[in-house]
Structure 1
Amino acid sequence: MSEVVRFIPRSGLNERHAAQRQDMDKVIVEKRTEAADFRPTKVFFGPFSLLPTQLLLLEGDKVVPLGSRAMEILIALLERCGELVSNRDLMARVWPNLFVDPSNLTINMSALRRALRDGRDGRRFIVNIPGRGYRFVGSVDVSGDDN
C-alpha cells in the first residue's frame, strides 16, 4: 500500500556536490539521510507517474517525451514538493559546474509545463514565484520497494 511521503530519491542527488555548495539548502542532504531506508520506485501526481530511477514519465501507460534537463527539473521540484525551489538551486542542480544563461531554465520549464499540460483544464502542478523560483503544488503520492 502506498503512503503519502516526501519524494527523496536515493540516486538522484549528488551529495558530494550538494555538500560542497554553500548556497544549496542544507536541508536536502539532511532529508536524504533521514529517508535513506525509503527508495521510491514511482511518484504519482495527477494522471502522471514518474519512475525516477529510469528517468521515465508516464501518463497512464503512455510515455511522455521529456528532455533530460526538464526531467531533472521535475525531479528537483518533486523532491521538495510544496516548497519554493530557487532559480539558483535549480540551475545548480540541472547544470552543475556550468555557467548557462538563465533563459535555459525558462525554456526547459516551458517544455516541462507543456508536457504536463500545466494550466490547462484546471490542472496546476507548478507555480512560478517571479524572480525567486518555482514550487510544485500538485498532490503527490509515492510508492517504494517495501510497499
Structure 2
Amino acid sequence: MRSISAFGRLEQFHPEPRLDAAHTVQGPLSTRPSVPQRVRSAGVAPVDVSFGPFRLLPTQLLLLEGDKPVCLGSRALEILIALLERQGELVSKQDLMTRVWPNVFVEPANLTVHMSALRRALRDGRDGHRFIVNIPGRGYCFVGKVDVLVHEN
C-alpha cells in the first residue's frame, strides 16, 4: 500500500468502474454523474481516502469513522465524493446538483438538505474539525487535509 498526500485534485485515485442503472460500465469517478452499484474490474487499484477521523471507501460507497460505518445517504455520499475529487476548489451548487441528480430537475433546497446531513454526519465545525466551507451563493469547498491510500494489486 502506498500513501499519496492529496493537496490538489483527487483524480489520482482511479476507483473501479461501476454498473449504472442502464447496466453500462462507466469510467473514472470524476466523470460519473451518479453512484449506484459498483463492480470490480481487474487491474484497477482500490482506494481509501482519509480525512480527520474518517475514511471513505468510494468503490464500496462506504464512509467509516474509525472502524464504524457512518450512516449517510447515497446523495450525501455522492456530494462528499464530488467535493473530495476537487479538494481545495470551489464546486458550484449547479455542478453538485448536476452530479448528484443527473438529468433531473431538483430545487436547490435538495442540495441544502443533503449537504446539511453530510455536515452533521462529519460533525463539521465541531471538535476543531472543519471540512466543508460554503461560499454563499456560489458553492462549496472541501478544505480538510486529505490522504489517499492506493492499494497495490
TM-score by length of 1: 0.80
Which of 72, 76, 99 matches 1:93?
Answer: 99
**1:4 corresponds to 2:5:** yes
Q: Note closer, same or farther for the CA distance 1:112–1:84 as it changes in structure 2 (3 Å cut).
A: same
Any unmatched runs of 5+ in structure 2? 18-28, 34-42
What code does the residue aligned with 1:91 have? Answer: M
Q: CA deviation at 1:41?
A: 1.4
Q: Find out whether 1:120 has 2:126 as its counterpart.
A: yes
SS of 2:47 mapped into structure 1? strand
- Give the helix-richer structure, 1 or 2: 1
* Aligned ranges 1:66-145 → 2 under 5 Å: 66-145=72-151
> SS of the residue aligned with 1:120?
coil
Q: Following TM superposition, where does structure 1 have runs of at least 4 consecutive aligned residues deviating by more than 6 angstroms?
A: none
Amino acid at match of 1:64: V
Q: Provide the aligned C-alpha RMSD in A.
A: 1.9
1:107/1:144 Cα in 2 relative to 1: closer, same or farther (>3 Å)?
A: same
Aligned position for 1:20: none
Alpha-carbon distance in 2 for matches of 1:97, 1:39: 30
Cα distance between partner residues in 1 of 2:146 and 2:46: 12
How far off its partner does 1:145 sit? 2.5
Q: Report if the CA contact (8 A) 1:86-1:132 is conserved.
A: yes
The answer to which structure has the higher strand fraction is 2
**Equivalent residue, structure 1, for 2:21:** none
Q: Distance in 1 between matches of 2:97 and 2:133?
A: 17
What's the % identity of the aligned pairs? 69
1:26-70 C-alpha deviation (Å, 9 max, x unpaired): xxxxxxxxxxx9845100000000000000000000000000000
Cα distance in 1, alignment partners of residues 68 and 144 from structure 2: 20
Counterpart contact for 2:30–2:85, Cα < 8 Å: no
- Structure 1 residue 131 displacement after superposition: 0.4
Secondary structure (helix, strand or coil) at the match of 2:148 reads: strand
